[in-house]
Amino acid sequence: LLARFISGLPHGAYFGVGSIVADKLADEGKGSEAVSIMVAGMTVANLFGVPLGTSLSSMVSWRITFLLVGCWGVIILYYIWRWVPHVEGLKDTGFKGQFRFLKTPAPWLILGATALGNGGIFCWYSYINPMLTDVSGFSVGSITGLMVLAGFGMVVGNLVSGRLSDRYTPGKVGTVVQALIAVVLLLLFFLSPYAGLAALLMCLCTAGLFAVSSPEQILIIRVAKGGEMLGAACVQVAFNLGNAIGAYVGGMAVGFGYRYPALAGVPFALVGFVLFLIFYKKYQAKY
């Protein structure tokens, strides 16, 4: 448990720094797409890494999976040092200056939309396996393939969202995607007994999960002037907070049946949509 806690510590900082570096290295007008490509690493991990790790754990030992992840981390550390170009450091605003951006409503709207939007999805996603087997009628053996399909949705949603955010605006894309997430969660509640529709809606919902991530990441950097590093990390804190709250609420809904976590996620997603919409209407023109 202690090792798990320690391994989770760099998550927010790594994605925060990675987002800033990607934005700085991007061509003019391509910042959102660059951030989406950086975030794509997490979606590819869900597409290939999770099924591979699960298979290795079941065939050999879970210790082999952990050993490979540890060794891979050392290799990645080396190649980041060798390949990632040097970028100019952020202006030092002091310790208090890092928090100054939190005095305005704009970042709180983004962080709230992130936490609640992701919370809505994780109400359902935390209990997706029993929903697919007990409600949709899929066999236990087909779950690995379905998780690959879910990962494919994440990859596509993330990359498409990055391009659309540069073409339109991150606020507009985030608002529309968040609305679609609420609709898909509601459809999952009603249509999950139908296997084909359940698989399709699962793919759409996981696509939405990462389609909203790039706009959130790029927007928080833009609104957190003087505290970009903290802001970029805060959006990951909001993401993980939403995961935890969503899983807890979804667990309470499971008592009514495995369809109900999706229904429990709808109010979260709707509030996330409202917060995104307020940001878009009031602040998007500035950023």
Instruction: Report the pLDDT value the prediction gives residue 147, as an integer from 0 to 100.
Output: 85
pLDDT tens per residue, range 107-160: 999 999 999 999 999 999 999 999 999 999 999 889 888 988 998 898 899 889
Question: What is d(CA 129, CA 138) in angstroms, rounded to the nearest whole number?
Answer: 9
**Mean pLDDT throughout 238-254?**
94
CATH code: domain 2-279 is 1.20.1250.20
Q: Which residue ranges make up each domain of the chain? A: 2-279
Instruction: Report the pLDDT value the prediction gives residue 230, as an integer from 0 to 100.
Output: 86
197 has pLDDT over 80? yes
Instruction: Report the pLDDT value the prediction gives residue 110, as an integer from 0 to 100.
Output: 95
90 has pLDDT over 80? no
Long-range contacts of 125-129 (CB under 8 A, 24+ apart): 125/205, 125/206, 125/209, 125/246, 126/243, 126/246, 126/247, 126/250, 126/251, 126/261, 127/250, 127/251, 127/254, 127/258, 127/261, 128/202
User: With pLDDT > 90 as the criterion, what percentage of the chain qualifies?
Assistant: 51
Q: Are 162 and 155 in contact (CB under 8 A)?
A: no
Greater confidence, 273 or 50? 273
287 has pLDDT over 70? no
User: Residue 2, class by beta-carbon neighbours within 10 Å (0-12 exposed, 13-18 middle, 19+ buried)?
Assistant: exposed
- For the chain, the average pLDDT equals 89
**Mean pLDDT throughout 57-86?**
89
Token readout for 150 is 């879910």
How far is residue 183 from each of residues 62, 178, 189, 241, 282, measured CA to CA in Å?
37, 9, 10, 22, 24
